[in-house]
Amino acid sequence: MAEREVDRSVSQTVKAQLALRDQILSGSLRPGERISELQAVETTGASRTPVRMALVRLEEEGLLEAIPSGGFMVKAFSERDISDSIELRGTLEGLAARFAAERGVSARELEPLKECLAAIDELLRQVPISIEAFSSYVTLNARFHALLTELSRSPPLVRQIDRAAALPFASPSGFVMAQSALPEAQQILIIAQEHHRVVIDAIENREGARAEAVMREHARLAVRNLRLALRNRTHLDLLPALALIKTATD
């Protein structure tokens, strides 16, 4: 290789994976579209071997689909695929919460969760919420969910939850973003925050069933509001990932 600039700080494989995922989620590559390796080589700057590794990883991640005759295409999701994935994640997070409650969590471990909770409370006190605060909310909410998941002390479960969140809109952040278009966004966030509060309380009091139930309800709230948000599609044009949802089916 002569003139290709190589960034040696991260592996080419990782670089290609990030670049391709970005292209998919940003909508540069449309669902159903075949990904050409050669084209990916040009856009990512890596060579074919790392690109192929990245493609395999993205396929396992669920964003790509293998074409029987060879190669990969961008996977298309129905609205139901997305809502199922959210409910799926809620179910898994419910299990995580139950594990946490049943297995016991020390006050020290719960501390970061409570800090997160307090920080979100602080944000929600603003009426109406500012753009910056909303952006912070997205981060804090993702952090809360990640911490909660960790409390289960179950690596296989954590792994599965991460997987379930791979689909666009199925991650904590994606879900919040989707709802941002709704006029009732702030009320929704307040209800969600109440769920957060309840799950911590339940874990603290070792009420596994209650902890599980509230996380599932949390997901159902998300599903309901994603549906509403999708009806308001005009407000969502800022979210290119939306293009991933095929409009025809479902």
Partner DNA sequence: TGAATACGTTATGTATACAATACCAGGGGC
Partner DNA sequence: GCCCCTGGTATTGTATACATAACGTATTCA
Asked whether 227 and 83 are in contact (CB, 8 A), the reply is yes
Q: Characterize 164-196 residue by residue with b for buried, 16 or more Cβ atoms within 10 angstroms of its Cβ, and e for exposed.
A: bbbbbbbbbebbbbbbbbbeebeebbeebbebb
Q: In the window 164-193, what residues touch a copy of itself (CB under 8 A)?
A: 164, 167
- 47, interface contact from a copy of itself, DNA, none, CB < 5-8 Å by kind: DNA
Q: How far is CA 229 from CA 86, 122, 178, 179, 237, in A?
A: 14, 25, 6, 6, 11
**Stretch of 21-29, 80-88, 174-182, 228-236 lying at the interface with a copy of itself (CB under 8 A):** 80-88
- 175, interface contact from DNA, a copy of itself, none, CB < 5-8 Å by kind: none
- Residue 70 touching DNA (CB under 7 A): yes
Residues binding a copy of itself: number (CB under 8 A):
27
Torsion from C-alpha of 204, 209, 211, 213, nearest 10 degrees: -160
Closest approach of a copy of itself to the CB of residue 220, in Å: 12
Pick the binder of a copy of itself from 23, 27, 28, 61 (CB under 8 A).
Answer: 61
Nearest to 148 by CA among 112, 178, 182, 176: 112
Residue matched to tokens 């990932």: 241
- Residue 18 touching DNA (CB under 7 A): no
**Stretch of 31-39, 49-57, 109-117, 193-201 lying at the interface with a copy of itself (CB under 8 A):** 49-57
Give the C-alpha separation, 34 to 66, whole Å: 10
Site string for a copy of itself, 129-158 (x = CB under 8 A): -------------------------xxxx-
Dihedrals phi, psi of 34, to nearest 5 degrees: -80, 140
- Residue 8 touching DNA (CB under 7 A): yes
**Stretch of 10-18, 90-98, 128-136, 171-179 lying at the interface with DNA (CB under 7 A):** 10-18
Residues binding DNA: number (CB under 7 A):
23
CA 106 to chain centre: 27
- Residue 174 touching DNA (CB under 7 A): no
Rg (CA), the chain: 20
Give the C-alpha separation, 97 to 135, whole Å: 26
- Residue 233 touching DNA (CB under 7 A): no
Dihedrals phi, psi of 121, to nearest 5 degrees: -50, -45
- Residue 47 touching DNA (CB under 7 A): yes
**With respect to a copy of itself, which residue has the nearer C-beta, 12 or 85?**
85
- Residue 30 touching DNA (CB under 7 A): no
Q: Which residues bind a copy of itself (CB under 8 A)?
A: 49, 52-53, 56-57, 60-62, 80-81, 84-85, 87-88, 91-92, 95, 99, 154-157, 159-160, 163-164, 167
